[in-house]
Amino acid sequence: MRVLVVEDDKDLNRQLVAALSESGYAVDSAGDGEEGYFLGETEPYDVVILDLGLPKMDGISILEQWRRADRKMPVIILTARDRWSDKVAGMDAGADDYLAKPFHMEELLARVRAQVRRASGHAKSEIECGPLRLDTKTARVTCAGLQIKLTSHEYRLLAYLMHHNGRVVSRTELVEHLYEQDFDRDSNTIEVFIGRLRKKIPIDLIQTVRGLGYRLSDEPEQG
Amino acid sequence: MRLNSLAFRLFATAAAWTLVVLPLAGIIIYGLYRDDVQASFDGQLRKLVNAITVDSMAPGSAPEAPENLYEPLFEVTHSGWYWQITPLDKPDARKLVSPSLASAILPSPAIEKVVPDVSGARWMDVLGPKGEPLRVVEVIDTLGHEPNKPRYSILVAGPIDWLEHLVSNFRNRLTTALALAGLGLVAVTLFQVRFGLLPLRQIGRGLADIRSGKANTLQGDLPAEIEPLQLELNELIHSNQEIVDRARRHVGNLAHALKTPLAVITNEAREEKGGFGTKVAEQAQIMSDNVSHYLDRARMAARVNVIGRVTPLAPVVEALVRALQRIHHEKDVKISVQCPPDARFRGERQDLEEMLGNLLDNACKWARKNIVLVVEVPPDTGHAHRQRLTITVSDDGPGVADAERATIAKRGMRLDETKPGSGLGLSIVTDLAQSYGGSCELARGPKGGLSVCLQLPAA
């Protein structure tokens, strides 16, 4: 899952990036409005955390331009402006949630999870696929009740596949959603991680769809 | 017309002036007329006495009764017209009198020591033989006008009761005419005052319109004298609104400036395990609660008695419901709204949003399935400034026990620490409602949940 943090306060930006990375997200960050707008415009994010009072370009305009350009990723506004008029303006500009500063990091993380789940169509915080069970709150994966030990990259890959289970996910999509912007995007690494994951979970859960990508499903392979 | 009013002052001074001037003019006119009538009557008497003197004082040994009776009434007994010739040096000598006098004798002004006028005639008012008032003129002459001869008093009297009658008649008519003129003047003054002060009433209506929000400025084509007032007032309203907007902007900037560092401190402190981190996190939380509390108060103080802001309810409610249903999309709560399209709040849009937003947000957090928002507008009683809107927000959540309702509205009180929020929501709603002279009351909802009833000034 890839998250964009647009926040001009350096300390808060760093804290957000740290907390989100720790929770298993690939995080990009921008320190001003223009950079944030550009990243959101060009990269496929699963969630954006957007401050409103930003240098160079304010948050509401950024959001409105994204929505006008048909960028539909969930956006959580994180701002000190906690008046209802600001909230209404933010939601009307196309935000999906609104969190006022100062905030609790756990609450922000919960809201990020909620937006990711919502975007992929899951109602509960636990996602199941066959014997696999992903607890998005604790970032733990169990198989038939036993916890599976995963590295952070393995977790990102599996979590993304589980959020989108039953659907074919292309290699490019995986690269785009699992790694930060400046990561060396060699799609071969995906194959390496898929290989490693297959060793840790029942091998037929991750199906390779030739020429298209991968699919996580507990139903037998078609064709 | 109130005693302490411009209209009364103008009217009273004009009326007082009229009341002084008209009677004074009446007295003067009456006096002049009376003198005039008297003078003309005196002239007539003077002519008669002259004619009689010429007739009777012809050279000879004794005065003769005048032959030509210039006035026929000298012949009629007690007619009021008399003449009388009295020798002054021989008191016992025979008097010549007009037949009308019969046996009566008139008193002589010369004997009564009346001072003669420049022509030598003496004037006196006496009572005649019938007791009728008479005007008497007397000249003293000698036979043939020769000096050192025996002197005679020649006296003519005429009735003056008809004169009095004439004058009093005139006085009555004069009084009536002047009274009518006075009434007319008062009426004209009244009209003048009303008409002249009409623009002031117009200003009063204009200010009421501004207060009720129908207008932003004092409008209308006002007279030159109060046009500067109009301009200044409009400037004042404008700058007042600017000051409020500026204060609001500064407060918003301050909020932004303080809250981000507080968020950083809180997050950093939570990372730091141990006593120090806990302490800092705790204190940062207190600071952040205080910042929210006093920023809300500052915003509130910045807007006390802002004139002329009116907010229609329906768009605000609609926008809030739209935003809240997105924020609380996970709960799938249904918010049903009953709001008359003409409901209007006499106050700032931001404040209304703050109150309704907090109430609806609370309701969304606690409700199971349904939230009902009902806006009631009182029937038009004519007292526009006293009308109250009633807004009720009720949810079907667990509700609040009777004993706890008092504490929940206090600052920073949260009955359930597990739900997010600083707990300031209801207290700021109460404070805001009170700053508008309204109220916020908690009650048990119809479906067992909490029901909050907000009373606010209507427009």
Residue B442 is predicted with a pLDDT of 85
Q: What are phi and psi of A219, to 5 degrees?
A: -90, 150
Q: Is A91 within 8 Å of B329 when comparing Cβ atoms?
A: no
Concatenated DSSP letters of B185-219? HHHHHHHHHHHHTHHHHHHHHHHHHHHHTS-SS--
As a whole number of angstroms, the distance between CA A72 and CA B328 comes to 19
Among all chains, which residue has been given the structure tokens 């207060």? B211
Q: Is B322 within 8 Å of A82 when comparing Cβ atoms?
A: no
**In A, which residues are within 8 Å of B421 by CB distance?**
none
Q: Is B177 on the interface with A (CB under 8 A)?
A: no
Q: Is A53 on the interface with B (CB under 8 A)?
A: yes
Residue B414 is predicted with a pLDDT of 47
- pLDDT < 50 regions, chain B: 412-422
Q: Counting beta carbons within 10 angstroms of the beta carbon of residue A88, is it exposed (0 to 12), middle (13 to 18) or buried (19 or more)?
A: buried
Q: Is A118 within 8 Å of B330 when comparing Cβ atoms?
A: yes
- Residue A33, min C-alpha distance to chain B (Å): 16
DSSP class of residue B106 equals P
Among all chains, which residue has been given the structure tokens 């960028």? A71
Give the per-residue SS3 of B23-90: HHHHHHHHHHHHHHHHHHHHHHHHHHHHHHHHHHCCCCCCCCCCCCCCCHHHCCCCCCCEEEEEECCC
Q: Is B266 within 8 Å of A102 when comparing Cβ atoms?
A: yes
In this complex, the residue of A19, A84, A95 whose CB is nearest that of residue B320 is A84
DSSP class of residue B443 equals E
In this complex, the residue of A87, A101, A118 whose CB is nearest that of residue B260 is A101
Give the per-residue SS3 of A84-138: HHHHHHHHHCCCCEEEECCCCHHHHHHHHHHHHHHHHCCCCCEEEECCEEEECCC
Q: Is B281 on the interface with A (CB under 8 A)?
A: no
Mutate to test the interface with A, among B253, B267, B316 (most CBs of A within 10 A): B267
Q: Is B327 within 8 Å of A118 when comparing Cβ atoms?
A: no
Residue B365 is predicted with a pLDDT of 85
Crossing angle for the helix pair A152-163 and A188-200, nearest 10 degrees? Answer: 90
Mutate to test the interface with B, among A16, A83, A136 (most CBs of B within 10 A): A83
Q: How many CB atoms lie within 10 A of CB B181?
A: 14
State CA B392 to chain mean position distance: 42
Top-tier CATH class for B25-166: alpha beta
The yes or no reply on domain A2-120 and CATH 3.40.50.2300 is yes
Top-tier CATH class for B311-457: alpha beta
Helices (H) and strands (E) in chain A, counts: 8, 12
Q: How many CB atoms lie within 10 A of CB B386?
A: 11
Q: Is B256 within 8 Å of A12 when comparing Cβ atoms?
A: no
Given a contact cutoff of 8 angstroms between Cβ atoms, the answer to whether B200 and B213 are in contact is no
Mutate to test the interface with A, among B245, B249, B250, B256 (most CBs of A within 10 A): B256
Q: What are phi and psi of A108, to 5 degrees?
A: -60, -45
Token pair listed for B14: 């004009």
Residue A223 is predicted with a pLDDT of 44
Which has the higher per-residue pLDDT, A17 or B4?
A: A17
Q: For B356, which residue in chain A has the nearest alpha carbon?
A: A84
Q: What is the largest CA-CA distance in chain B?
A: 158
Given a contact cutoff of 8 angstroms between Cβ atoms, the answer to whether B129 and B136 are in contact is no
Q: For B268, which residue in chain A has the nearest alpha carbon?
A: A15
Given a contact cutoff of 8 angstroms between Cβ atoms, the answer to whether A213 and A171 are in contact is yes
As a whole number of angstroms, the distance between CA B136 and CA A13 comes to 126
What are all long-range contacts of B331-335, with beta carbons under 8 Å and residues at least 24 apart? B331/B364, B331/B367, B332/B369, B333/B364, B333/B367, B333/B369, B333/B370, B333/B371, B334/B369, B334/B370, B334/B371, B335/B360, B335/B363, B335/B364, B335/B370, B335/B371, B335/B372, B335/B373
Q: Is B323 within 8 Å of A92 when comparing Cβ atoms?
A: yes
In this complex, the residue of A15, A90, A92 whose CB is nearest that of residue B264 is A15
Question: Which of the four CATH numbers 3.20.20.140, 1.10.10.10, 3.20.20.80, 3.55.50.30 does domain A126-216 have?
Answer: 1.10.10.10
Given a contact cutoff of 8 angstroms between Cβ atoms, the answer to whether B59 and B76 are in contact is no
Token pair listed for B143: 């036979």
**In A, which residues are within 8 Å of B322 by CB distance?**
88, 91-92
State pTM to two decimals: 0.61
Q: Is B259 within 8 Å of A101 when comparing Cβ atoms?
A: yes
As a whole number of angstroms, the distance between CA A119 and CA A172 comes to 19
Which has the higher per-residue pLDDT, A219 or A148?
A: A148
Q: Is B420 within 8 Å of A92 when comparing Cβ atoms?
A: no
- Residue A71, min C-alpha distance to chain B (Å): 18
Q: For B254, which residue in chain A has the nearest alpha carbon?
A: A80
Given a contact cutoff of 8 angstroms between Cβ atoms, the answer to whether A162 and A205 are in contact is no
Q: For A121, which residue in chain B has the nearest alpha carbon?
A: B330
As a whole number of angstroms, the distance between CA B266 and CA A11 comes to 12
Residues A47-91 pLDDT 10s: 999 998 888 999 999 999 999 999 989 999 998 888 888 889 999
Q: Counting beta carbons within 10 angstroms of the beta carbon of residue B416, is it exposed (0 to 12), middle (13 to 18) or buried (19 or more)?
A: exposed
- Residue B451, min C-alpha distance to chain A (Å): 21
Q: Counting beta carbons within 10 angstroms of the beta carbon of residue A102, is it exposed (0 to 12), middle (13 to 18) or buried (19 or more)?
A: buried
Q: Is A183 on the interface with B (CB under 8 A)?
A: no
What are the residue ranges of helices labelled H in A167-218? 171-178, 188-200
Residues with Cβ within 8 Å of residue B312, at least 6 apart in sequence: B343, B344, B345
Q: Which of B47, B77, B46, B63 is nearest to B153 (CA)?
A: B63
Amino acid letter for position B111: I
DSSP class of residue B94 equals P
Q: For B360, which residue in chain A has the nearest alpha carbon?
A: A84
Q: Is B255 within 8 Å of A19 when comparing Cβ atoms?
A: no
Q: Is B268 on the interface with A (CB under 8 A)?
A: yes
Q: Is B2 on the interface with A (CB under 8 A)?
A: no
**In A, which residues are within 8 Å of B356 by CB distance?**
84
Give the H/E segment covering residue B158.
strand B151-159
Residue A60 is predicted with a pLDDT of 93
Q: For B428, which residue in chain A has the nearest alpha carbon?
A: A83
Q: What is the ipTM of this complex?
A: 0.76
Given a contact cutoff of 8 angstroms between Cβ atoms, the answer to whether B90 and B61 are in contact is no
**Mapping DSSP to helix (H, G, I), strand (E, B) and coil, where does residue B376 land?**
strand
As a whole number of angstroms, the distance between CA A113 and CA B414 comes to 26
Q: Where in chain A is the domain with CATH 3.40.50.2300?
A: 2-120
Q: Where in chain A is the domain with CATH 1.10.10.10?
A: 126-216
Residues with Cβ within 8 Å of residue A158, at least 6 apart in sequence: A134, A141, A150, A197, A201, A216
Residues A104-152 pLDDT 10s: 888 899 999 988 888 888 777 788 888 888 888 888 888 888 888 888 8
**In A, which residues are within 8 Å of B270 by CB distance?**
104-105
Q: Is A85 within 8 Å of B353 when comparing Cβ atoms?
A: yes
Q: Is A82 on the interface with B (CB under 8 A)?
A: yes
Given a contact cutoff of 8 angstroms between Cβ atoms, the answer to whether B438 and B454 are in contact is yes
**In A, which residues are within 8 Å of B419 by CB distance?**
none
Which has the higher per-residue pLDDT, A156 or B60?
A: A156
In this complex, the residue of B260, B261, B267 whose CB is nearest that of residue A105 is B267
Concatenated DSSP letters of B246-284? HHHHHHHHHHHHHHHHHHHHHHHHHHS-SHHHHHHHHHH
Residue B311 is predicted with a pLDDT of 87
Residue B385 is predicted with a pLDDT of 56
